[in-house]
Structure 1
C-alpha cells in the first residue's frame, strides 16, 4: 500500500506531530479494529508500536498513523520538513498480523495517491 507523510503543521524537531496518512481502502483492507497497536519497521530502525485504537484513525477524515518515531525517522532521512503540498510517500507492506514494513517510494508530484 502507498501512504503519504503527514504533519500536523508544527514540523517539530523532536518528531512529534508526524505520521503516515493511509487511504480508507487500505486501512479497511490491512488494519483490524480489534488491534490496539501495529508494529512498524522503518528502514534502518528498530520496530516500534503505533496506536490505532482511536476514533480518529477509523474515521473517514483522519486515518493517520502518528508517532514521534516516524517524525524522527523522516527528519533523519532528510524527508521532513517537505515543501508545502508535496509530502513524500512510502510503500507499506504487511508482514504478518499487525506488523508492517515501511520503505521509501519517492516524492509525490502533487497528485494524491488516493
Structure 2
C-alpha cells in the first residue's frame, strides 16, 4: 500500500491507513470468503470521508465460480457490500470474454464513494 509518506506494508488483520482511493482490480476474489469479509471491512473502515472505492469483483456466474478458497458474489451481495456508500456506478459483464483459451466472465465493476458526512 502506498501512502503519502511512502510505502506501508501491513498484514490484512491490521488497521489500514486512511485512504482517499482504494482500487482493487481483479484480486479480491482470490481471498477465501472469511478473509474477504475481513479485508472488505478493513477497506470500508479506511475510506476517508469523500473517499473513492473502485473494485472489480467476480460474479457467481463466472466460469471459475465455486473454486475452493475463492470468493464470488451475486449482484445482491455487491449491493450489500456497498450499502452506506454512494454507489456511483455498477457495471456487470456476463458472457464470453478474452482470456487464455477463452472463458465465460461474470464481473462487477464497482465505483462507490463514502459520503463526506455520516
TM-score (norm 2): 0.27
**Higher CA-based Rg:** 2
Which structure's residues are more often helix, by fraction?
2
TM-score (norm 1): 0.27
Q: Taking CA–CA contacts closer than 8 Å with sequence separation of 6 or more, which of the two structures ends up with the larger relative contact order? A: 1
